[in-house]
Amino acid sequence: MTRHRGRGIASVNYPIGMNLGGDPSQALVHSNPSGKFTVALSSIDLGQGMKSVTRQICAETLGVPVEDVYVDTADSDTGPHCMGSFASRGTHRVGNAVMAAAREARGVMMEAAAEELEVNAADLETDGRGNIHVRGAPHRSISTKDVAIAAQFKQGKTISGRGIFLVPLSDVDPETGEMSPATCYAHACLVAEVEVDDETGEVAMIRMDSAYELGRALNPRLVEQQLVGGAWMGVSHALYETPEPYYPEPVHGPRDFVEYLMPGPGDICPHDIAVLERPAPDGPFGAKGPGEMCANPVLPAVANAIFNAVGVRIDDLPITPEKVLRAIKAQGGARPQPRR
């Protein structure tokens, strides 16, 4: 029995969002008389941080503290429309919609403040701490709370804004098949190192090194959590998870976590991640989105690493010990490739 080390590399060019139906999402922003703002969305946060990142985008655009913004994703029956939380589209699509809504609400807020301070709205600026003052004259100031109260009870204005992000539909050229499925792309490259046991066919992850280019990381800790967790999911898809044998027919398929395998905390490996920020021109504050791309490069990198280790090319996922062992036997033994 020998354990063979191998290294594999893979790169991805990943479209953010999709083209279908223009891929729209809407957002509504309004203030309460307390001077706090609510963002209404139907974009559901599954734990990736949609609420955190749209809260940041709204606060930054309005020019108010992040603590003054509440994101409500309560109900897709009553909220503004969203295509959904998938396709790595949340930060980019929903973020753009929130930004547009917040920009419109900010316009109303500045007009209301101008009326109270008896100045031109164009001469006003926000300090990001809950105050609006005349540019160059910070003492001519009013709090966003007092502006909200004045708008509600005196001026009869709603400090509110509407936002939508819609990509122009790209038709397919009937001659060439050419189309533009996305407006921006994120990129990633990952190196996987594995150890393959040529007697059992088992593959152990040794380490991963990756670089992800995802526009501007609006919340670096959330991005990191996505990349760490997403890469694990990639390993899981590469080596463990399958609804086989008769997918999509569930007969004889896995029924529980004993039959549907996933790597546990003892199966993970060190993962060194570099985040490259190259702001997208059409992203909210330059953001694209990590999303699905976290998992994508892992699968081909692991398959390549297995080839590098024992010389067998498995193109059917997941790469189970049985498949590796059968392939090694079929070629008459492990054939380690030159070390990469």
Interactions with another protein, residue window 293-322 (CB under 8 A): none
Of 172 and 228, CB closest to another protein: 228
Which of 23, 25, 19 is closest to 164 using CA atoms? Answer: 25
Of 49 and 95, CB closest to another protein: 49
Q: Cα–Cα distance between 324 and 134 in angstroms, integer?
A: 70
- The secondary structure of 71-140 as a DSSP string is EE---TTTSPPB--S-TT-IIIIIHHHHHHHHHHHHHHHHHHHHHHHTS-GGGEEE-SSSEEEETTEEEE
Q: Which stretch binds another protein (CB under 8 A): 62-70, 109-117, 185-193, 217-225?
A: 217-225
Q: Single out the residue of 163, 215, 230, 318 in contact with another protein (rule: CB under 8 A).
A: 230
128, 138 contact by CB (below 8 A): no
251, 226 contact by CB (below 8 A): no
Tokens coding 157? 């204005």
Q: Which stretch binds another protein (CB under 8 A): 61-69, 231-239, 246-254, 306-314?
A: 231-239
Starting at the earlier edge strand, list the strands of the sheet with 69-72.
69-72, 37-40, 25-31, 160-165
Count residues binding another protein (CB under 8 A). Answer: 22
Residue 222 interacts with another protein (CB under 8 A)? Answer: yes
Residue 119 interacts with another protein (CB under 8 A)? Answer: no
Q: Single out the residue of 19, 43, 48, 88 in contact with another protein (rule: CB under 8 A).
A: 48
Residue 181 interacts with another protein (CB under 8 A)? Answer: no
Of 130 and 254, CB closest to another protein: 254
- How many C-beta neighbours within 10 Å does residue 51 have? 18
Residue 152 interacts with another protein (CB under 8 A)? Answer: no
Q: Which stretch binds another protein (CB under 8 A): 71-79, 222-230, 242-250, 326-334?
A: 222-230
Q: Single out the residue of 21, 47, 128, 243 in contact with another protein (rule: CB under 8 A).
A: 47
Q: Single out the residue of 231, 280, 314, 325 in contact with another protein (rule: CB under 8 A).
A: 231
Residue 232 interacts with another protein (CB under 8 A)? Answer: yes
Of 222 and 327, CB closest to another protein: 222
Distances (CA, A) of 116 to 135, 152, 155, 238: 15, 13, 9, 62
Binding characters for another protein, 256-295, by CB under 8 A (x = yes):
xxx---x-xxx-x--x------------------------
Of 22 and 229, CB closest to another protein: 229
The number of angstroms, rounded, from the C-alpha of 5 to the middle of its chain's C-alpha atoms is 33
Which of 86, 83, 81 is closest to 15 using CA atoms? Answer: 86
Q: Single out the residue of 115, 202, 224, 282 in contact with another protein (rule: CB under 8 A).
A: 224
With b for 16 or more beta-carbon neighbours within 10 A and e for fewer, the 191-230 pattern comes to: bbbbbbbbeebebebeebbbbbbbbbbbbeebbebbbeeb
Q: Single out the residue of 20, 169, 228, 274 in contact with another protein (rule: CB under 8 A).
A: 228
Positions in the binding site for another protein (CB under 8 A): 46-48, 221-222, 224-225, 228-233, 256-258, 262, 264-266, 268, 271
